[in-house]
Each structure stands twice: as C-alpha cells, then as structure tokens.
Amino acid sequence: MTGKVYLVGAGPGGLSLLTFRAREVIDKADVILYDQLPGEEILSSLPAKAEKIDVGKWGGHHTMPQEEIESLMVRLASAGKNVVRLKGGDPFVFGRGGEEMETLRAAGIPVEAVPGITSGIAVPESVGIPVTHRDFASSVTFITGHESEKEESAIDWAWLALSPGTIVIYMGVKNIPQISTRLIENGMDSLTKVAVIENGFRENQRVTCTTLEELPAKAEEVGFKAPAIIVIGEVVSLYRG
C-alpha cells in the first residue's frame, strides 16, 4: 500500500510552538526528511524509531537538490512508508511545500500539509512587534529577499514602496543593500523604521533597529546572519528590548 507524505511546519523554533498535529504525525513517521531550520530543540525530539535524513537545505547550502528531495519522497511513499518532510515555520510560506505537493499529487501519492507558525509573524511578535496594528498598519506584505537581486523581479517594488502597510522580508540578509535601494528609489521614506531579528526564539537571538537609509551601513557594521526576519514599517516603533 502507498504511504503518505506529510509536509509539516515545525514553527519558528522550540517545542512549545509546534502544533499537536505536527507532533502526532512526526511521532508516527517511518521516515523524516529534515533540515536545520526547525532548530535544535525540535530536531533532538525526533523519534528514535524513525529513519532520519538530513536534506539540509537552507542558508544557501543545498546538501540535497530539491528535485532529489521530491523524488526521494515519492520513492519512499511508493514503498509504503509514511514520510514527514519537516520544515521551519509553515510549509507553504517560502518553504517549497507547494511545489512538493504538486509533485506528490502528480505521482498519485496522498499528501497532507500540516500548518506551522510562520517566522515572519512570530519572530517580530516575540520582540513586541505586531505586523498589523490599527494605528500603524492595516496590511502586511510578506516577500522573499531573493527577488531584490533580480532585474526582472516578481515583486512590484513601485507598489510596495508606496504601500502604507508593514513589509516582512524572509531570506533578506544577503540582499540588504538592494532592498534598501529599491524601496527608497521607488519613493519609500528613507527614515522608515526597520528591525532585523536574527535567530528568533534561539539563545543567540539579536535585534537591530535602524532606518531604511541606514540599513546597509548597519548590515556592514553588525554583520547580520541568516536566519533573520526584516520588518519595515511604523510597527517597529513598538519594539521593546
């Protein structure tokens, strides 16, 4: 009988933010494909009886190419295994969960996505920054920082720069100068507040508050490291260290 693949969100870090459903499917899995993003506390809680495969793909170190991860999941499930693909945050937010679901569907493999708490909301929240607030932001846009380096960006920077809501950037650390330039060039106030939160929910968490124009210099000075969430907008004024 064909097994099932669970695309599981592990949340932003720590066992307390893992959902019950995630715990349930993790504990029943025959095989768990993981990377380092869920963090030590969750990874060290994986059941001993499950086969664990480190597909370690984050921060630019792809130990296993995406196509291989997908065909591995198809092979394992076809062989009758229940497979968990464990991901940081939510599997469908910049996690390639959508692509994996399509591949599994095409191969006729049953697939279930298990939601997780996404870092773009929870990491700012953990330092007192709400991504929306009636006085400051009635909308929030989640973007990937990867798009800022592309000439033909899939992001409408002109719209983004002029939209009054909060901007939350995933995977943005490497492209901070381009992000800052693109937003300012397109008309965003250069004094807009920015927070960079590295290693949210971990012992080495660090928060840096600055402005959009000062952001590239701050990046040079501080040397931001992934994983980090960048928040841009008035809501940053609510940060309390």
- String of b and e for 127-142 (b: at least 16 CB within 10 Å)? bebebeeeebbeebbb
76-84, 105-113, 212-220, 227-235 -> range binding ligand SAH (CB under 6 A):
227-235
Q: Which of 3, 89, 115, 124 binds ligand SAH (CB under 6 A)?
A: 89
Site string for ligand SAH, 144-183 (x = CB under 6 A): --------------------------xx------------
- String of b and e for 203-225 (b: at least 16 CB within 10 Å)? eeeebbbbbbbebbebbeeeebe
Out of 73, 101, 171, 188, pick the active-site residue. Answer: 171
Catalytic residue status for 57:
yes
88 lies in the binding site for ligand SAH (CB under 6 A): yes
The residues, ordered by sequence, that sit 6+ positions from 223 with a Cβ below 8 Å of its Cβ are none
Q: Is 199 left (phi over 0), alpha (psi -120 to 50) or beta?
A: left
Question: Scanning residues 101 to 120, which ones bind ligand SAH (CB under 6 A)?
Answer: 118-119
Catalytic residues: 35, 57, 171
Binding-site ranges for ligand SAH (CB under 6 A): 12-13, 37, 58, 87-90, 93-95, 118-119, 123, 170-171, 197, 199-201, 226-229
